[in-house]
Chains A and B, each alone.
Chain A
Amino acid sequence: MNIKENIKTIVVKKPLKLDCGLTINDFPLAYETYGSLNIKKDNAILVCHALTGDQFVTGLNPITKKDGWWSNVVGPNKSIDTNKYFVICINVIGGCMGSFGPSHINPKTKKTFGTDFPVITINDIVNAQINLLDHFGIKKLFSVVGGSMGGMQVLQFVSNFPEKTKTAVPIACTSSHSAQNIAFNELGRQAITADHNWSEGKYSSNNTNPDKGLAVARMAAHITYLSKKGLQEKFGRKLQERDALKFGFDADFQIESYLRYQGSVFVDRFDANSYLYITRAMDYFDLGKQFDGNLSNAFKNSKTKFFVISFTSDWLYPTQENKDIVIALNAIGADVGFVEIKSDKGHDSFLLDVPDFLKTLKNFLDKSYLR
């Protein structure tokens, strides 16, 4: 797989001090853009991707040859209208789509970093991203938008750079990973590290991949992205290409077959070590704690106009956790709107064709852009 030629990158010369204490410099940031930047440079939207996303937001992803992860949302005349806005998405550091991550070569050892890569945080990810705005000469974004872990980046972005965006749309997210969130991530990490092929993270030297572990991690996580009702309606107890139970451990049920499929396609496009690092960044995320336990203080200096969106059936980042963000913003008189969208598609609703969500996001952005 020749990744390089389809991936745009900048090399960040400026040293970046990470939360773990280490400093990195001369590191690559991979990105993609859609639409065009206007002369005033006031129509840029930074889209932040989720755990397993990448910079290829919409259209055909040149690496996976599949539709971009937010093709439902971003494109001409869509909610984030690329006829109007200049959309930038940056692969997070720690990721595996060209930005500085554990699959990069460690110049000291001439081998991939693996677990020698520094543990990164959402704060580090956001502090790296700001370099690309400088690259484009963008002083102030029109908006920063993201769902799930993308939403965490939105919150951290406004907190770190209150003057750098006019609006912010955190979607289906939280300001602090809950014990349940950490538990599910730990399950995924344990599945990866328990795979013999993981080899303490040095699998690339052995020319193997911890595919089984990574697939199980993906399967477990995937369940958390769907709702019980959604799963029941889609699969119920339907059997997979058979009329009766086989009294064995093959995939008798459609849901089993579906999850196995989700696991198997995931390992083709994602790096196991990146999965460890990015889930860790999510677990470490606790924006309120960065401000002595008072989330409001994270946004104290911001004139940014917020719009928070949650989904009724999202149990991974439930409405209450999204509302806590709204409450913190209202406590300091910030400009914030909020709606909970009705959907039975679970946490994944923000990625799917949910008309009320698509319409509301579009309305918020287009009306805010006018003023």
Chain B
Amino acid sequence: MLMKPEYKIISDIINENSRVLDVGCDDGTLMEFLKQNKDVDIRGIEISKEKVQICVSKGLTVIEGNAELDLKQFPNKSFDYVVLGQTLQAFVNPEIVIKELLRVGKKAVVTIPNFAHWKVRLNLLVKGTMPVTKTLPNEWYNTPNLHMCTIKDFFKFSEKIDFKIFKSLALINENVSTINNSNLFTKNLFAELGIFLIEKSYEN
């Protein structure tokens, strides 16, 4: 589940008067938060019927759908921002999803639970079992996460599929800090969450 400080960071990244699509909007908590804090036109897409119904009860505009299949209905650059909160790792094909986010949105905000966090590393190193932490609460057999990655992986990923990272932030004990090349090693060790503002590198 998304944690509160993350909402604040995402809200700070997003400009006023923009069109926003929350991909995998869950029960609409982030959408509500953004609506309260910013003058934005926000839509959501969510795979769970129950969650969509909760969103409707909050007066949010949400469509039931699967981001891997249903983002294609949105025209190019139809949103100023597309937000993907902690779900990239749950898709069958994260590469296609990222490409779709960058097609549909002028910019995308992607957050990832960092699998290189020291507790995760220690968990595996000492216990020898798949890590279970506050940000990764599931066991290996019931986790929705298919493609766990680290902050460092995400940087490499940006080079591989060619997108620009405008902003990269680390969340450590509810404190936000900027990630850059010189501090990547430590941020990758201590951040529970990475938050990235990204954009397509060039028109293609």
Contact = CB atoms under 8 A, between A and B. Distances in A.
In terms of DSSP, what is the predominant structure of the interface of chain B?
mixed
Given A337-B61, A339-B64, A367-B56, A330 B49 contact: no
Among B56, B73, B74, find the residue whose CB has the most chain A CB atoms closer than 10 A.
B56
B128 interface: no
B57 interface: yes
Contacts of A363: 53, 56-57, 59
A371 B64 CA distance: 23
Contacts of B43: 335
Contacts of A293: none
Interface string B68-102: 00000111001000000000000000000000000
A341 B64 CA distance: 10
Nearest to A305: B61
Nearest to A364: B56
B73 A339 contact: no
A336 B61 contact: yes
B105 to A, nearest CB: 13
Interface in B78-136: 78
B65 A367 contact: no
Contacts of A323: 65
B56 A333 contact: no
A128 interface: no
Contact of A338 (B19, B58, B65, B78): B65
Given A330-B73, A339-B53, A342-B49, A367 B64 contact: no
Contacts of A364: 56
Nearest to B46: A339
Interface string A287-313: 000000000000000000101000000
B41 to A, nearest CB: 8
Contacts of A367: 56-59
A339 B64 CA distance: 5
Contacts of B53: 339, 356, 359-360, 363
B49 A341 contact: yes
A305 B59 CA distance: 12
A305 B64 CA distance: 16
A368 B59 contact: yes
A346 B126 CA distance: 54
Interface in A314-352: 323, 326-327, 330-331, 333, 335-342
18 contacts: A326-B63, A326-B73, A330-B63, A330-B74, A330-B78, A333-B78, A336-B61, A336-B63, A337-B60, A337-B63, A338-B64, A339-B63, A339-B64, A340-B49, A359-B53, A359-B57, A363-B57, A370-B59
Interface of A: 305, 307, 323, 326-327, 330-331, 333, 335-342, 356, 359-360, 363-364, 367-368, 370-371
Given A336-B61, A359-B57, A364-B56, 14 more contacts: A326-B63, A326-B73, A330-B73, A331-B74, A333-B78, A337-B62, A338-B65, A339-B52, A339-B63, A341-B49, A342-B49, A360-B53, A360-B57, A368-B59
Closest 10 CB pairs of A and B: A367-B59, A338-B63, A327-B73, A363-B57, A339-B52, A330-B73, A337-B61, A339-B64, A363-B56, A360-B53
